């Protein structure tokens, strides 16, 4: 059994798809530039690492209302509750038209044949200019596929991983409410600060659940060039 076949048989997502389809996804994923595992783990020295970046939640929730008609349903699955996304970075930079990036990218590929990776998606939308997002602007030179998520009560995502190591990008995350339940490697994350931005290690299994309506989250991706900037903003 070669390396791909081992990966295909064991990966939680790929094993559900025909070999030929999975091989194309595998080849694209492993053709990308990556960062060494030791260097990645130095940055992600804990599953959820606090940064200096913090959003004023009251200001953000008020300001995001100008885009309330631009939120789109997140993917096609209906068993994960009511979930929507608003692109900060997508393929076109246009915020108010149907958007392939407001869904899991593996779902996009396996349902439509369109193969995109997070690092392919680099056009900022007007939502990035919200005054309440000013603390994030240090990340803007490196920003790739990113969105504002909105979940209603009981919406969430099931236990999964987003990437294999070595990583081809970095993920950050935050929530506007302490009524967000987040587990990483089956451990519930405690003392999550509303508005705080964290480095989140999505090479680990993680799952989430909302305990309120209109719960906003920050789903942020940056390319590998952001490494030094990320190191400089970490608090612990």
Q: Where are the domains of the chain?
A: 1-31, 36-233
Cβ-based neighbours of 49, under 8 Å, separated by 6 or more? 43, 198, 199, 200, 201, 234, 235, 236
Q: In the predicted model, what is the mean pLDDT of residues 73-102?
A: 89
Residue 134: pLDDT band (50, 70, 90) is very high
In the prediction, which pLDDT does 25 show? 85
202 compared with 106, residue with greater pLDDT: 202
What is the model's pTM?
0.94
In the prediction, which pLDDT does 80 show? 73
In the prediction, which pLDDT does 29 show? 86
In the prediction, which pLDDT does 6 show? 86
Residue 78: pLDDT band (50, 70, 90) is low
In the prediction, which pLDDT does 142 show? 98
Q: In the predicted model, what is the mean pLDDT of residues 86-96?
A: 96
In the prediction, which pLDDT does 1 show? 72
The CA distance from 150 to 220, in Å, is 14
The CA distance from 166 to 169, in Å, is 9
131: pLDDT strictly greater than 90: yes
Q: Which CATH number fits domain 36-233: 2.60.120.330, 2.30.36.70, 3.40.50.620, 2.40.100.10?
A: 2.60.120.330
How many C-beta neighbours within 10 Å does residue 19 have? 12
In the prediction, which pLDDT does 146 show? 98
In the prediction, which pLDDT does 198 show? 98
Both tokens of 159, joined, read 């236990």
């Amino acid at each position: 059994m070669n390396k791909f076949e081992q990966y295909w048989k064991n990966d939680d997502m790929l094993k559900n798809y025909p070999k030929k389809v999975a091989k194309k996804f595998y080849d694209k994923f492993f053709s990308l530039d990556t960062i060494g595992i030791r260097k990645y783990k130095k940055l992600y020295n804990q599953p959820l690492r606090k940064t200096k970046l913090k959003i004023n939640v009251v200001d953000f929730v008020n300001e995001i209302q100008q885009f309330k008609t631009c939120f789109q349903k997140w993917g096609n699955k209906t068993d994960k509750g009511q979930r929507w996304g608003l692109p900060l970075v997508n393929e076109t930079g246009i915020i108010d038209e149907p958007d392939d990036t407001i869904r899991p990218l593996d779902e996009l590929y396996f349902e439509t044949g369109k193969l995109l990776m997070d690092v392919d998606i680099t056009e900022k939308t007007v939502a990035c200019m919200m005054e309440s997002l000013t603390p994030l602007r240090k990340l803007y030179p490196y920003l790739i596929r990113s969105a504002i998520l909105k979940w209603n009560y009981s919406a969430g995502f099931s236990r999964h991983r987003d990437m294999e190591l070595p990583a081809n990008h970095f993920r950050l995350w935050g929530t506007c409410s302490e009524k967000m339940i987040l587990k990483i490697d089956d451990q519930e994350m405690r003392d999550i600060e509303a508005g705080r931005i964290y480095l989140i290690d999505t090479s680990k299994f993680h799952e989430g659940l909302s305990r309120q309506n209109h719960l906003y989250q920050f789903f942020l991706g940056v390319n590998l060039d952001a490494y030094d900037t990320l190191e400089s903003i970490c608090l612990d």
